[in-house]
Chain A
Amino acid sequence: MGVILEVRDLVVRFYTQEGTVYAVNGVSYDLDEGETLGIVGESGSGKSVSSLAVMGLIPSPPGKVEAGSVIFEGRDLLQLKPDQMRLIRGKEIAMIFQDPMTSLNPVLTIGTQITESLKLHEGMSTSQSRKRAADLLDMVGIPDAYRRLDDYPHQFSGGMRQRVMIAMGLSCNPKLLIADEPTTALDVTIQAQIIELVKALKDEFNMAMIWITHDLGVVAGIADRIQVMYGGRIMESGSSHEVFGDSRHPYTVGLLGSLPRLDSSGEEKLTQIEGSPPDMHSEPDGCPFAPRCDIREHLNLEKCWVERPPLETVPNASGDQSHVMSCWADISEGVAENV
């Protein structure tokens, strides 16, 4: 399988009145055709901003992509002119946003909103595009689809609105779908409906997908590969089995330990990560997780404060190099158990 998206050394900053926000500080990854990448992180970790940069949607000013490249099918998206980018956005790469309430236009019917990209990218006539839009709504499970084209967003429930968003995203058969917390605003039973739907559609359309979330449970079920972000950097990345089953970064280990599980009675206390998420107004010299890291404290590592750890391959039995992490300590040698 070929690589569809290559992100290299992406750096995004926001220049605000309160100072510079160092949102993304050197992010690199590859995405294969048909692969689902889960990007996990807390608020402010840079997970959304790095994906908005891929779409060329960083509001500028105050935002600016300072460095890096985003190679999509041989072209660097960051070098494209706005009108060239517009031909890709919505056609080749589509995006679903978190809040279907605010990302649909309340004064336009959903028919108008879905057919917009069909007319623009596919050159369809009004009647053709309406027929295609109805088919799409039908496909995402909206009953009585043709009639509902003339309804407004407020006439749909939250889950139905998210289905409309998905229909819009898929309207031009994109090669890559970026889903930015698409189920966070929804209840669990509706979330389960949407996840099942997206999984089925992904196979049908043979898309690659980036699924951004803070919910480790959701990515465990949907992603082939998982990338854990913190402080604008990638902390750990690997197949979902590697990241969950053989977590190596202290942040990943801490995050998984702090989660209660539905399938265990949970008598024992949750292990907590001390402190608060980093202030993004300054760029630390060393590892962004250092102030909260109990491994660093335990081993008394000075290096963590002064030097940024590189992403290094975690050796595994199969010999492939997909599992990488960025940490000076090697916690595979039983260090984690002693902390």
Chain B
Amino acid sequence: MSSQVMTAGNGSTTTSNDYILEVTDLKKHFPISAGIVFQRQVGAVRAVDGVSFHVVRGETLGLVGESGCGKSTTGRTILQLYRPTEGSVKFEGQELSTMAGNDLRQMRRRMQIIFQDPFASLNPRMTVGSIVSEPLQIHKIYSNKKERQQYVEQLMEKVGLNPYFINRYPHEFSGGQRQRIGIARALALEPSFIVADEPISALDVSIQAQVVNLMEELQDELNLTYLFIAHDLSMVRHICDRVAVMYLGKIVELGPVDEVYENPQHPYTQALLSAVPVPDPTVEENRQRIIITGDLPNPASPPVGCNFNTRCPVSVDLCYEEPDPPLIEVQPDHFVSCHRVT
């Protein structure tokens, strides 16, 4: 691993040694096929279309954007649940995109995922004990059944579940408790990096704080690194250290969370933040909203020029001609991809 100071996406003090994850120009295109007998590819959905960022060990990086912007696909492509079309994913110094088979399986011990929907992501026919211990069996940790059960009980306790429920089935639990089961399963192999794919958006408001607090406690205790994928921008500000804003498969703005929220530079980030309601009528009465018109363009045929030009309130001619504005560092660590920002 080189220790040279990276040019993209870091402060002056961190070196690449501190990076747990480095994603470079990652692309994931899903083919669109036509024809019944002779299938041929007629196009591609550019779900992720060239994203580069890094994650520093111990931090929480937020990945935000509207539905269809490619944030979940990015998370899954990093974990090689989808194989990337192009680009590189380096995890703890090792290239994952070319890795396969047993090597990749070994890497999976170090990186795990928590899914959005705690109703769909747990097998209804397995008990909590077998769900949480399955990763241990696959990786042949604890050959002794008794030790394994003890470890699972410890894990359950750690995530706030009563170990007494080890033989119960997922349907006997509420949404928040199920999400705790999902977290226990992700923690079973003692990973260093967890992709949390909208872990709280299916939960009730009063339960969301419970799960977020748990995730923060576990992070401190186990020195975890999170990639926190979410569309709830208020929660992202609370839990994340840095945030990347995605639009149509690309990162449009990236930086420390307070800096991005207080000083957003990209017109999309500005509109997105201004659209989030604040639970305070006095603030709401005096807020100026930037309402962007229209919908997200089809990612199978993105607009010519900058991706955001169909909805951008401040676009100029250049935005329709020149594609892919580069990520420019406007403040230390704060990157923006916009032709209007120089």
Task: Let me know if B25 is at the binding interface, CB within 8 A.
Answer: no
Q: Please tell me if the beta carbons of A244 and B279 are within 8 angstroms of each other in the complex.
A: yes
A192 and B278 form a contact (CB under 8 A): no
Given contacts A188-B233, A262-B237, contact A276 B174 (CB under 8 A): yes
User: Is the C-beta of A101 less than 8 angstroms from some C-beta in chain B?
Assistant: no
Interface membership of B123, Cβ < 8 A: no
Partner of B210, one of A244, A263, A272: A272
Q: Which of A160, A218, A261 has the most CB of B within 10 A?
A: A261
Say whether B237 contacts A273, CB under 8 Å: no
Check if B231 sits within 8 Å of A262, measured CB to CB.
no
**A190 interface hit (Cβ, 8 Å):** yes
Q: Once bound together, how far apart are the Cα atoms of A182 and B252, in whole Å?
A: 29
What distance in Å separates the Cβ of A279 from its nearest Cβ neighbour in chain B?
9
Complex interface: chain B residues within 8 A of A306 (CB): none
Binds B, one of A76-84, A172-180, A251-259, A319-327: A251-259
In the complex the two chains form, is B176's CB within 8 Å of A266's CB?
no
Interface check A43, CB cutoff 8 A: yes
Q: Is B275 a contact of A269 with CB atoms below 8 Å?
A: no
With an 8 Å Cβ cutoff, the count of chain A residues facing the other chain is 45
Inter-chain contacts of A160 with B (CB < 8 A)? 295
A103-111, A113-121, A209-217, A295-303: which one contacts chain B? A209-217
The answer to the question of A270 belonging to the interface, with a C-beta cut-off of 8 Å to chain B, is yes
Q: Is B304 an interface residue (CB 8 A)?
A: no
A68 within 8 A of B: no
Given contacts A160-B295, A193-B291, contact A217 B177 (CB under 8 A): no
B258–A265 contact, CB under 8 A?
A: yes
Q: Mark A205-243, 1 if CB is under 8 A from B, else 0.
A: 000000000111110110000000000000000001100
Interchain CB contact under 8 A, B209 and A263: no
Neighbour of A262 across the interface among B210, B271, B278, CB < 8 A:
B278
Given contacts A269-B216, A270-B212, contact A261 B258 (CB under 8 A): no
**B273 contacts across to A, CB distance below 8 A:** 262
Chain A residue numbers with a CB within 8 Å of B208 are 258
Neighbour of A193 across the interface among B204, B212, B293, CB < 8 A: B293
A240/B281 in contact, CB under 8 A: yes
Given known pairs A187-B67, A270-B213, A276-B207, the reply for A260 and B234 (CB within 8 Å) is yes
Most A CB atoms within 10 A — which of B216, B258, B280, B283? B280
* CA distance in complex: A255, B279 (Å): 11
Q: What is the CB-to-nearest-CB distance from B238 to chain A, in angstroms, rounded to a whole number?
A: 3
* B11 sits at the interface (CB 8 A): no
Q: Which residues of A contact B233 (CB under 8 A)?
A: 188, 262
Given contacts A254-B206, A259-B234, A272-B210, contact A217 B291 (CB under 8 A): no
Pair B204/A188 contact, Cβ less than 8 Å: no
With an 8 A cutoff between CB atoms, is B66 at the interface? yes
By beta carbon, the residue of chain A nearest B240 is A266
- Report the nearest B residue to A156, measured CB to CB: B295
Looking across the interface, which residue of chain B has its beta carbon closest to that of A265?
A: B258
Q: In the complex, are the beta carbons of B237 and A187 less than 8 A apart?
A: no
B289 within 8 A of A: yes
Q: Is A74 an interface residue (CB 8 A)?
A: no
Q: Which of B66, B177, B231, B276 has the most chain A CB within a 10 Å cutoff?
A: B276
The 3 A-B pairs with the shortest beta carbon distances in the complex, nearest first, are: A217-B277, A260-B238, A258-B209
**5 additional contacts (CB under 8 A) given A187-B66, A188-B272, A221-B284:** A157-B295, A217-B234, A221-B278, A265-B261, A270-B238
14 contacts between A and B (CB under 8 A): A189-B291, A191-B277, A196-B291, A217-B277, A217-B284, A220-B278, A221-B284, A244-B280, A245-B282, A256-B279, A260-B237, A261-B234, A262-B237, A270-B238
